[in-house]
């Protein structure tokens, strides 16, 4: 008696077709509305469609269920494994450093499927393959298993890399430690619309140095340490990627002036004026390392992303220092920096409502000595314009470089530097008489 043919393959085939027919119009609609989906999701969408088409045609051609195909068909397993692999890694371009537990399960499933394919092609049919091909396939399988295991491990690496904002370990660090930003992109509570009554307020302005990039615990930042040890209510207005000119723009948006202002400055604040005056970088900065072939692969793999960041790190610190040195020696660039970038601050130096603002000058944290002449020139100019200045270069030059930075890959000030700076500022602030705030 003939065993009846199972019809399971039919509903599996039409289910695959249904995903294609229903999923693509929805994806197309979202893609039209969202530029990110158009640019980043296309490879993933194409690969998922191909994966479903493979299932659809094999189900109709073989007229057996997917379970049977996985158990018996080497060709189906090979195609399915290849497109599953590509789709899984292409999906990481969309859901970067998110849904890691789901991704871990999918990677493990891929490893199982990869092993099944190797078993069907090489172990069960050793006579159909030549010795050389069989050995190469075994080597490729071993390397693939190692790669998938490394991918699982490095998916959970969390590390601050100041020079590599597109590093997956940096994105994971951001997701873990940079929650609770306010509406202005600051790592701070919301700024009140007007001066709090009966309180003395201090604004700490700056870029990622003030923001506390690389500092895991907010209470280790200079702003929090000042709030704990003074009678000021401190607001940290640091915004990564901003320069000194952006600080005055942020003050305009806030709309009121505190009793005290502390402004963080570091040498790369001159970068904008250097470029505006025709001084171009003579090397490719690390931030663009992901854009060139074959580096684009680091967009899709945690392990390759980590490997590239490790290899590329040490090449450009000296080159960027040389670029900044040319900028500070260029009279037109330096003049534009002090007049155009610092000029808007003049209004905060007039009247009796604000204490004398304090400028904190940071050196290059990875090479304090090379930036000392630049900070000396800035200190002289700011003193002439009525600023109180704290030049950190002489205070930090004898300290070990590892003590000054977050880590070897992140040249932002360490928690130790934040504590040292807070102690120094506390002494200065306690010597400063408080004036009545300007509403």
pLDDT-derived band of residue 394, with 50, 70 and 90 as boundaries?
very high
* Widest distance between CA atoms in the chain: 104
Kindly tell me if the per-residue pLDDT of 336 is higher than 90.
yes
**150 and 107 in contact (C-beta within 8 Å)?**
no
Kindly tell me if the per-residue pLDDT of 87 is higher than 90.
no
Distance CA 121, CA 134 (A): 9
Number of helices and strands in the chain (H, E): 19, 7
Distance CA 307, CA 154 (A): 10
The torsion angles phi and psi of 95, rounded to 5 degrees, stand at -105, 55
Q: Residues spanned by CATH 3.40.50.1110 within the chain? A: 168-430
- pLDDT score of 28: 59
Distances (CA, A) of 330 to 316, 326, 337: 21, 6, 11
| pLDDT, tens digit, 9 for 90 and up, residues 267-317 | 999 988 998 888 887 655 554 444 454 556 778 899 988 888 777 655 556
- Count CB neighbours of 425 within 10 A: 22
- CA atoms 308, 311, 313, 316: torsion sign: negative
- pLDDT score of 273: 92
- pLDDT score of 37: 58
Classify strands 200-205 and 232-236 as parallel, antiparallel or unpaired: parallel
Q: Which two tokens stand for residue 130?
A: 């030549």
Kindly tell me if the per-residue pLDDT of 91 is higher than 50.
yes
- pLDDT score of 289: 46
Kindly tell me if the per-residue pLDDT of 38 is higher than 70.
no
Specify the CATH architecture of the domain 168-430.
Answer: 3-Layer(aba) Sandwich (3.40)
142 three-state secondary structure: helix
Task: Tell me the mean pLDDT in the region 235-264.
Answer: 92
- pLDDT score of 95: 79
Kindly tell me if the per-residue pLDDT of 101 is higher than 50.
yes
- Count CB neighbours of 381 within 10 A: 15
The percent of residues in the chain predicted with pLDDT above 90, rounded, is 45
Kindly tell me if the per-residue pLDDT of 127 is higher than 70.
no
- pLDDT score of 8: 82
- pLDDT score of 331: 92
Highest-scoring range by mean pLDDT, 14-28, 43-57, 340-354, 368-382: 368-382
Kindly tell me if the per-residue pLDDT of 243 is higher than 80.
yes
Distance CA 433, CA 439 (A): 19
Distance CA 428, CA 248 (A): 23
Range from 15-29, 130-144, 336-350 carrying the lowest mean pLDDT: 15-29
Distance CA 134, CA 140 (A): 10
More confident residue, 230 or 308: 230
Distance CA 241, CA 203 (A): 18
- Taking all residues of the chain, what is their mean pLDDT, rounded to a whole number? 84
- pLDDT score of 350: 58
265 three-state secondary structure: strand
| pLDDT, tens digit, 9 for 90 and up, residues 60-71 | 888 888 888 999
- pLDDT score of 366: 85
pLDDT-derived band of residue 215, with 50, 70 and 90 as boundaries?
very high
Distance CA 427, CA 230 (A): 10
The torsion angles phi and psi of 262, rounded to 5 degrees, stand at -120, 125
Q: If you count them, how many residues does the chain have?
A: 439
Model's pTM, two decimal places?
0.81
- pLDDT score of 358: 92
**412 and 209 in contact (C-beta within 8 Å)?**
yes
Helix axes 8-33, 42-62, angle to 10 degrees: 160
Kindly tell me if the per-residue pLDDT of 406 is higher than 50.
yes
pLDDT-derived band of residue 29, with 50, 70 and 90 as boundaries?
low
Distance CA 186, CA 1 (A): 76
**355 and 435 in contact (C-beta within 8 Å)?**
yes
Range from 21-35, 57-71, 402-416 carrying the lowest mean pLDDT: 21-35
Residue with tokens 């580096």: 295
- pLDDT score of 230: 92
CA-nearest of 43, 37, 23 to 300 is 43
- Count CB neighbours of 433 within 10 A: 5
């Amino acid at each position: 008696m003939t065993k009846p043919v199972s019809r399971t393959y039919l509903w599996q085939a039409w289910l695959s077709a249904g995903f294609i027919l229903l999923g693509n119009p929805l994806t197309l609609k979202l893609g039209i509305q969202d530029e990110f989906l158009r640019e980043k999701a296309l490879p993933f969408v194409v690969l998922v469609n191909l994966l479903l088409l493979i299932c659809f045609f094999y189900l109709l051609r073989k007229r057996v269920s997917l379970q049977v195909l996985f158990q018996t068909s080497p060709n189906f397993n090979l195609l399915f494994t290849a497109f599953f692999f590509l789709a899984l890694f292409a999906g990481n371009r969309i859901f970067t450093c998110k849904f890691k537990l789901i991704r871990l399960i999918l990677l493990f499933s891929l490893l199982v499927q990869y092993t099944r394919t190797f078993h069907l092609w090489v172990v069960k049919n050793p006579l159909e393959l030549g010795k050389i091909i069989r050995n190469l396939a075994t080597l490729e399988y071993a390397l693939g298993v190692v790669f998938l295991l490394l991918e699982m491990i490095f998916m959970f690496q969390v590390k601050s890399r100041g020079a590599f904002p597109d590093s997956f370990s940096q994105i994971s660090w951001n997701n873990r430690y940079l929650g609770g930003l306010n509406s202005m992109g600051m790592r701070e509570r919301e700024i009140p619309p007007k001066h709090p009554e009966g309180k003395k307020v201090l604004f700490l302005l700056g870029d990622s140095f003030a923001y506390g990039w690389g500092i895991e615990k907010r209470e280790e930042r200079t702003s929090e340490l000042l709030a704990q040890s003074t009678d000021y209510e401190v607001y940290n207005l640091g915004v990564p990627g901003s320069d000194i000119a952006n600080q005055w723009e942020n003050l305009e948006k806030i709309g009121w002036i505190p009793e005290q202002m502390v402004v963080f400055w570091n040498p790369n604040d001159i970068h904008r004026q250097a470029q505006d005056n025709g001084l171009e970088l003579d090397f490719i900065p690390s931030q663009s390392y992901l854009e060139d072939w074959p580096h684009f692969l680091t967009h899709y793999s945690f392990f390759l992303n980590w490997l590239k960041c490790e290899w590329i790190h040490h090449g450009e610190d000296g080159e960027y220092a040389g670029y900044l040195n040319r900028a500070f020696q260029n009279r037109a660039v330096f003049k534009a920096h002090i007049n155009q970038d610092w000029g808007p601050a003049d209004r905060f130096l007039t009247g009796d409502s604000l204490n004398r603002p304090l400028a904190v000058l940071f050196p290059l944290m990875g090479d304090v000595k090379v930036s000392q002449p630049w900070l000396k020139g800035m200190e002289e100019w700011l003193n002439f314009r009525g600023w109180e200045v704290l030049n950190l270069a002489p205070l930090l030059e004898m300290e070990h470089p590892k003590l000054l930075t977050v880590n070897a890959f992140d040249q932002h000030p360490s928690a130790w530097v934040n504590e040292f700076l807070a102690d120094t500022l506390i002494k200065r602030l306690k010597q400063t008489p408080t004036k009545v705030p300007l509403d």
